[in-house]
């Protein structure tokens, strides 16, 4: 996610803030800025683009006098990348400067209320609301203003706050977004991640949920939201810088696997308000949805696999026919598309060349286009009629994990939303699926807690030469992604097949000892899958089953099993994919592969 750095001490703040932000560049960002109190007022400088643009603008910080300040690198969520939308954000009075990681879900209602009270806004961001709220509540007691502000905002946040009237301190607070406090001698820090301050100190406080840190150069005091003092024990960091960037994990992929509960929560939570799905991002009317004759889903790689999942889900719940196309094939097959067709484009980067070309072809043919994209202001987002952003944050590893999971989450939101609008989902079903959506991030977290068992299985099978993945319906769609994850980072030959197709030729490839991963998460197809398991075992296969925790009879048919929590059938893919990601990661690690940068692959494919 975005990067936060704050400093208060005896040295010039701006150069320290810039150095800290440099250590967070690996996280990805589209703009950067700093705010420093110069003895009279808060000076803010921020620029779109790389950090170097900001550094050149202020001559590596030399132009900004002052020994207290906050800095930020932004990954756009609300508002396109621009100088104005970059952080820090100032209140209208100039009294408060704020940097923020996360998403404020109720910012529109707060913004409208503040406008009525006479406040003016200059940016498109949700963050500016926080600066204005602080100003509104401030009556001389900074801590009180902070407490009252966080009592009003809903969502996830890590905040760094600088107040012109009390320039001897900065405030740090977190909820669902990480923030740490760095402890120095005659100076102290806040940061969103350890690398930002590792060159200055190795002693930190890890703030817990809703804790508020008042950071001064002489010390740090931590309070809970009731303004009660909280005793903290320092933690000493002995990682090197490389390990620190990865949060202590060996690879970015491992870190990003573990970030999936938060990424999915950030994608879902702002779009459920008072028990209803609210998609402010799209302008598709109920009439347009009812008149759709067909939906096309166009994507590449893992995003294409999301599309395969989406086909099953959208057709089942909306009863609208769905076709899924590999983007590189879509525009060359003369697709039958007109103005009654919705083309859904899925891309993490929003710059995938084949997908962008397919989008342009769809628009040329008269289709309405809706993109599911992670990068705000990307080409695909800008050229689509509608866009829904997946708030996964930057993904560093080439092999996608959290971007894939957030794309799935958007598909669930979209399917429930459309089905409700066109009347193919009953009210009681709608309420049930909203409940399941809200519970999904916790179930993802629970699933990931069982990864040690997956690591043990990887030790058993990492010397395999060929691995097959099989499943039916949604499980087949998940097999495609499980196989791709394994082959792209471990270089083991792997294929995925619809289980019912085995006897039509593929079963001839099964030899004694061949590993077959059998996904059987759907209760209605469980017995059929067990029939397929028996077929491959009769030819000598070793079978690893993946199913829900209430289906332990799978152990009678398979050699080993992985269990995931029970959820509604629609959302089973979000849980089933997790052990497949982890299995691929551990196998590749045991083989000594370059997991974050697998051979011959790139993160964003910008050529055809």
**Cα distances (angstroms) measured from residue 88 to each of 22, 25, 36, 85:** 16, 17, 10, 9
What whole-number distance in Å separates Cα of residue 526 and Cα of residue 341? 35
CA distance 232 to 235: 9
With beta carbons less than 8 A apart as the criterion, state whether 266 and 102 touch: yes
Strands (E), 49-132: 68-74, 89-90, 96-104
Q: Quick one: which H or E segment has residue 458?
A: helix 451-461
Give whole-number Cα distances, 386 to 345, 377, 437, in Å.
10, 12, 22
Radius of gyration of the chain (CA): 25
CA–CA gap between residue 326 and residue 333 (Å, rounded): 11
What gap in Å lies between CA 469 and CA 458, rounded to an integer? Answer: 15
Helices marked H in 319-450: 327-330, 353-364, 379-383, 402-422, 427-448
Of 101, 32, 43, 44, nearest to 72 by C-alpha is: 32
Distances (CA, A) of 264 to 107, 267, 362, 440, 585: 20, 5, 29, 8, 20
Nearest in space to 546 (alpha carbons), one of 523, 502, 576: 576
In whole angstroms, give the CA distance from residue 134 to residue 77: 22
d(Cα 175, Cα 211) in Å, to the nearest integer? 8
> In this structure, what are the phi and psi dihedrals at residue 236, rounded to the nearest 5 degrees?
-100, 130
Residue 132 contacts residue 92 (beta carbons within 8 Å): yes
273 in catalytic set? no
List phi, psi (to 5°) of 33. Answer: -165, 165
Q: Closest Cα partner for 352 from 5, 605, 68?
A: 605
Q: CA of 480: how far to CAs of 161, 265, 446, 518, 572, in Å?
A: 46, 25, 23, 12, 15
Cis before 88? omega within 30: yes
In 3D space, the residue among 77, 230, 226, 101 whose CA is nearest the CA of residue 151 turns out to be: 226
Is 2 a catalytic site residue?
Answer: yes
Q: In this structure, what token pair is assigned to residue 43?
A: 């000076």
Catalytic residue among 80, 363, 487, 603: 603
Please state, in angstroms and rounded to a whole number, the distance separating the CA atoms of residues 37 and 44.
9
CA neighbor of 485 nearest in space, from 363, 421, 386, 403: 403
Packing angle, helices 301-318 and 474-490, rounded to 10: 170
b (16+ CB within 10 A) / e for 388-416: bbbbbbbbbbbbbbbbbbbbbbbbbbbbb
Q: Which of 2, 163, 300, 593 is catalytic?
A: 2
Smallest Cα–Cα separation from 165: which of 140, 187, 128? Answer: 140
- Point out the residues that are catalytic: 2, 603
């Amino acid at each position: 996610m975005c990067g936060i750095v704050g400093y208060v001490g005896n040295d010039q703040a701006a150069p320290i803030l810039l150095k800290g932000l440099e250590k967070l560049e690996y996280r990805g960002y589209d703009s950067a800025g700093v705010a420093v109190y110069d003895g009279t007022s808060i000076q803010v400088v921020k620029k779109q683009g790389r950090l170097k643009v900001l550094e050149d603008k202020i001559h590596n910080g030399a132009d900004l006098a002052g020994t207290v300040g906050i800095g930020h690198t932004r990954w756009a969520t609300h508002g396109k990348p621009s100088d104005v939308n970059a952080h820090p954000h100032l209140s209208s009075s100039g009294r408060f400067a704020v940097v923020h990681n996360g998403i404020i879900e109720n910012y529109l209602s707060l913004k409208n209320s503040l406008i009525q009270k006479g406040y003016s806004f200059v940016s498109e961001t949700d963050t500016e609301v926080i600066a204005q709220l602080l100003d509104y509540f401030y009556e001389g007691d900074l801590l009180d203003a902070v407490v009252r502000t966080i009592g009003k905002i809903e969502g996830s946040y890590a905040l760094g706050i600088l107040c012109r009237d009390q320039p001897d301190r900065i405030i740090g607070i977190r909820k669902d977004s990480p923030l740490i406090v760095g402890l120095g001698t005659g100076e102290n820090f806040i940061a969103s991640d350890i690398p930002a301050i590792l060159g200055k100190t190795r002693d930190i406080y890890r703030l817990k949920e809703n804790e508020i840190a008042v950071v001064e150069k002489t010390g740090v005091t931590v309070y809970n939201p009731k303004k009660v003092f909280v005793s903290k024990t320092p933690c000493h960091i002995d990682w090197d810088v490389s390990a620190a960037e990865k949060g202590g994990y060996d690879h970015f992929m491992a870190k990003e696997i573990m970030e999936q509960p938060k990424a999915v929560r950030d994608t879902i939570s702002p779009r459920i308000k008072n028990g209803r799905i609210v998609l402010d991002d799209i302008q598709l009317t109920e009439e347009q949805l009812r008149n759709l004759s067909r939906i096309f889903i166009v994507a590449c790689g893992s995003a294409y696999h999301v599309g395969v999942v989406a086909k099953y889900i959208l057709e089942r719940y909306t009863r609208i026919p769905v076709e899924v196309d590999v983007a590189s094939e879509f525009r060359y097959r003369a697709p039958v598309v007109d103005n009654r067709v919705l083309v859904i484009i899925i891309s993490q980067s929003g710059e995938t060349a084949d997908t962008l070309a397919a989008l342009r072809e769809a628009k040329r043919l008269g289709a309405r286009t809706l993109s599911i994209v992670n990068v705000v202001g990307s080409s695909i987002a800008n050229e689509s009629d509608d866009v829904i952003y997946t708030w996964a944050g930057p993904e560093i590893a080439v092999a996608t994990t959290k971007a894939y999971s957030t794309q799935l989450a958007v598909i669930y939101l979209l399917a429930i939303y459309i089905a409700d609008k066109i009347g193919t989902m009953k009210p009681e079903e709608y309420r049930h699926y909203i409940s399941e959506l809200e519970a999904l991030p916790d179930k993802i977290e629970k699933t990931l807690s069982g990864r040690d068992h997956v690591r043990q299985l990887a030790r058993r099978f990492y010397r395999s030469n060929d691995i097959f993945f099989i499943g039916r319906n949604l499980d087949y769609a998940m097999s495609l992604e499980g196989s791709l994850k394994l082959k792209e980072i471990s270089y083991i030959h792997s294929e995925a097949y619809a289980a019912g197709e085995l006897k039509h030729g593929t079963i001839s490839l099964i030899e004694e000892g061949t590993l077959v991963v059998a996904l059987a998460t759907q209760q209605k197809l469980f017995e059929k899958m067990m029939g397929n398991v028996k077929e491959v075992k009769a030819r000598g296969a070793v079978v690893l089953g993946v199913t829900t925790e209430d289906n332990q009879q799978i152990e009678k048919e398979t050699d080993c099993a992985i269990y995931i929590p029970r959820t509604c059938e629609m959302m089973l893919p979000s849980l089933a994919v997790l052990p497949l990601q982890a299995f691929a990661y551990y196998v590749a690690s045991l083989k000594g592969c370059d997991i974050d940068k697998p051979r011959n692959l790139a993160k964003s494919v910008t050529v055809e």
